[in-house]
A and B are shown apart, each in its own frame.
Chain A
C-alpha cells in the first residue's frame, strides 16, 4: 500500500454548528475483587455537523467503549458510565430515561458494527430487520415501511432489492450484510452515524466500496460520522479530523492533515510508522513494542511511558494533560508542555 494520500478538501475544519459534545466521559468496568477497569477515562471531544471524525487506536484503547457509551449500550453490569456528559445538539443523553434513549438510538444516531457476519438476527429476513426501525421511529405502516426498505436497499447498491428483502442474512456475503447494516443505520436519516470498524472484517476490495458508500450516504443525508478504526489508510481517506486514543484517553487530536504531517505524540508517530510504505524497503514490518496496559493496571504517570522512545523521569510520575498548544491541535505529552517542544 502507498503512503496514504491526504485529500486537500478534507483538511479544512469547517466551523459549523456543534452536533455532538462529549465532556469528561468516564466508563468503568467492575472486574470483581475490587478491580476497576477504566476503559474510558475522562474523554472529551466534539463533532460538528457534516464532519467525519476518526477515532483511532489499538485494540483495548477504549475506542469501541467510547462509541457504545454514546449509544448508552454499555452492558451493565459490569460496565457503567460513571461520570461525564454527552450532548447531542445540546440534549444531554446521559440523563435520558431508557425509553427516551430508544428514541435517540436508530433515529438520531445510527450505528454500524465491525462484524457484519454476526450483526444481523439470523432468523428474520433482511426486510423485517429494516422495517423494524422504520416502524418504530417513523410510525410507518408495514407496507409503507417495506416500500421504503426496498428503496433504501437500492440506495446502498442492491439492484435486486425486491429479492434481497425476503432473504435471510446467511444468504448474503459479508460486504452485502454490511450494506444492509448501513441501510438500517441510515434508515431514519440520523444526524450522526457511528461506524465501529465497519471495514475491518471485509475483503480489501469490498472495504473501499463500503467506505465510499458511507461517505456518499453522509453527503446525501447531511449526517456526521464518527469512524472508529485502527487503519490509518482509512483515516487519511475519509476523515476531516482525527482523535487518537491510548489507554482510555485521547492523546492527540488534530485535523487530518496536521495529524499526518505535523504528528506530535510519540504514540501517533509510532502508529503511523506501522503503515508499510512501498518506497522504503524494510526487512520487517514496524510494530510498536509492548502492549496497551490492561485497563485496571494503568500507571500513575503517562500511560504510554512503558513503550515510549522519548520517555523521561517525569513521564513515570505524572500523567500529562491534553493541551492545545497550536490551533486545533491538542496533544497529551510532557514533551510539548513548553512552547516549542521538540
Chain B
C-alpha cells in the first residue's frame, strides 16, 4: 500500500515537472504566434488587443497557473490555427492514435513474447542465429520505408486494407482494422525485431538461477518450469521493456500517421508546430507525456502485483 502511495506521489510530481518544462520551452521558442496570426503588416494596437484577448500580456506565472487550471479542468484553450477548442481537436483525433497505439502494442506483445520464449528454448541453435540476423535487419529499416513497402505489397493487393485515411470503429470494425493494421505493423515490426531478444535474454537469465534447479529437482516437468515459474519471474524485466515500448510506439505514430495519412494526434502535432499554434502544441505534448507517464505508473503498479518482494516491503 505504501508502495502504491509513493508511486502516486511520484506520478503527480512528474506531471507537475512535465507541465513546467512544456510551458517554459514554449516561452523560449523562437516565433511569435501573434505575428503569424496577424501577418507581418499588423499594427501595434491590433497586436496588443490580441495579446490581451489570449492572456499573453499577463506575467508568466499567471499564464502558467491559468494553463495548469485549464489542464485540470479539460480546458486547454483555443487553437490559434483552427479557432476551435484544443480539447475538441484532440477528442477528434484521439481515437485514431489510441487505436493505432493499442493495436501496435498488442501485436508486439503477442508476437515478441512467444518468439522470445521459442528462441530461449533453442539457445544457440540455427533458429536463434537466423532470428538474430532478423534483429539487425529490423533495427536498420526506417519506418517510413517499411510503411511504403507494406502499402506496395499488402495495401495495393488486398482490398481489405485502406492505404490512406481512417474509418471510425463505429462505422465499420473491418474498415477500421483495414485502416489501422498496416500502420500498426509498420511500427510493430522493428519493435518486435528488437524486443523479442530482451524477452529471450530475460528468460535465459532466469533459467540460470538456482530456484529453477530446485523446481526441477522436485520432478516438475519442463513445461511447468517454463510457463509457471520462469515466465512469471521473467515478466518483471519484460514489463520494464514494455513500459519503454509504449513511449516508442507513441513516438512512432507521429511519423507513421504521415505515411498513411491517418488523421491522428501525430499529424495534428506536425501541423500545429508549423503554424506556431502554441496552445495546441502544448496540449498535444502534455497529452503525449501524460500517456507515457501514466503507462510507466501502471507498470510500477503491476510490478508490485507480480513481485511480492516489492509488494511487501
A residues lining the B interface (CB < 8 Å): 71, 73, 77, 98-99, 102-107, 110-111, 113, 115, 118-125, 129, 132-133, 136-137, 168, 170-171, 181, 184-185
Contact = CB atoms under 8 A, between A and B. Distances in A.
A113 B210 contact: yes
A122 B210 contact: no
Contacts of B233: 121-123
Given A111-B214, A115-B210, A184-B218, 15 more contacts: A104-B219, A106-B220, A107-B219, A111-B217, A113-B214, A121-B211, A121-B215, A122-B309, A124-B229, A136-B220, A137-B219, A168-B308, A168-B309, A170-B309, A184-B214
A123 B306 CA distance: 7
List 4 tightest A-B contacts by C-beta distance, closest first: A106-B219, A106-B218, A105-B219, A118-B210
Interface size class of B (residues with CB under 8 A): 20 to 34
Given A113-B214, A124-B229, A102 B308 contact: no
Contact of B216 (A73, A123, A125, A129): A73
A31 to B, nearest CB: 15
A77 B209 CA distance: 16
B154 to A, nearest CB: 41
A228 to B, nearest CB: 14
A179 B312 CA distance: 22
Interface string B271-313: 0000000000000000000000000000000000011110010
Given A113-B213, A122-B307, A123-B232, A171 B312 contact: yes
Chain B residues touching A, majority SS: helix
Contacts of A106: 217-220
A181 B214 contact: yes
Interface in B194-243: 209-211, 213-222, 229, 232-233
Nearest to A122: B309
19 contacts: A71-B216, A73-B216, A102-B219, A102-B221, A105-B219, A107-B219, A119-B210, A119-B214, A120-B211, A121-B229, A121-B233, A122-B307, A124-B229, A124-B232, A125-B308, A137-B219, A168-B309, A181-B214, A184-B218
A98 B225 CA distance: 14
B220 A102 contact: yes
Contacts of B309: 122, 168, 170
A99 B221 CA distance: 7
Contact of B219 (A103, A113, A129): A103
Contacts of B222: 98
B143 to A, nearest CB: 36
B132 to A, nearest CB: 18
B211 A105 contact: no
Between A71, A110, A111, A123, the greatest number of chain B beta carbons within 10 A of the residue's beta carbon is seen for A123
Between B216, B218, B220, B229, the greatest number of chain A beta carbons within 10 A of the residue's beta carbon is seen for B218
Contacts of A181: 214
A136 B312 contact: no
Contacts of A133: 218-220
A73 B219 CA distance: 10
Contacts of B306: 123
Contacts of A107: 219
A149 to B, nearest CB: 13
Nearest to B309: A170
A73 B217 contact: yes
A98 B233 CA distance: 24
A73 B308 CA distance: 28
B308 A170 contact: yes
Given A123-B233, A168-B309, A132 B218 contact: yes
B229 to A, nearest CB: 5
A136 B219 contact: yes
Interface in B41-74: none
B221 A105 contact: no
Contacts of B312: 168, 170-171
Contacts of B213: 73, 113, 119
Interface in B115-159: 124
A132 B308 contact: no
Between B217, B233, B307, the greatest number of chain A beta carbons within 10 A of the residue's beta carbon is seen for B217
A100 to B, nearest CB: 10
Nearest to A133: B218
Contacts of A129: 215
A109 to B, nearest CB: 8
